[in-house]
Amino acid sequence: MTDYRFLVIIEQDEDGKYIASVPSLPGCHTQADNLNELEKRIQEAIKLYLDEKSDFIPDPGKFIGIHQIEFQS
């Protein structure tokens, strides 16, 4: 069994739903009403992604940081 570590981006939409995506796995994303359910769902989505693309070798990347920028136009 291989251990992987992925950066997961979590956002909240205007309806309050949580959305998770994995930048190093294109198209790997899910949503949920709460963070506990979101974690379960994104783990399942990652597993399904890797099972489907068994020859894919993911590059987990290196986490640098996240910034939120506000500006007026």
**pTM score, two decimals?**
0.78
Q: What is the pLDDT of residues 8-58, one digit of tens each?
A: 999 999 999 999 999 889 899 999 999 999 999 999 999 999 888 877 776
Phi/psi of residue 36, each to 5°? -65, -45
Q: Which DSSP state fits 58? A: -
SS3 state of residue 4: coil
For residues 10, 37, 58 and 4, what is the CA-based torsion angle, rounded to 10 degrees? 110
Q: 23 or 63: whose pLDDT is higher?
A: 23
Which two structure tokens, joined as six digits, stand for 73?
């136009």
∠ at Cα 64 (61, 69), nearest 5°?
125
Q: 45 or 64: whose pLDDT is higher?
A: 45
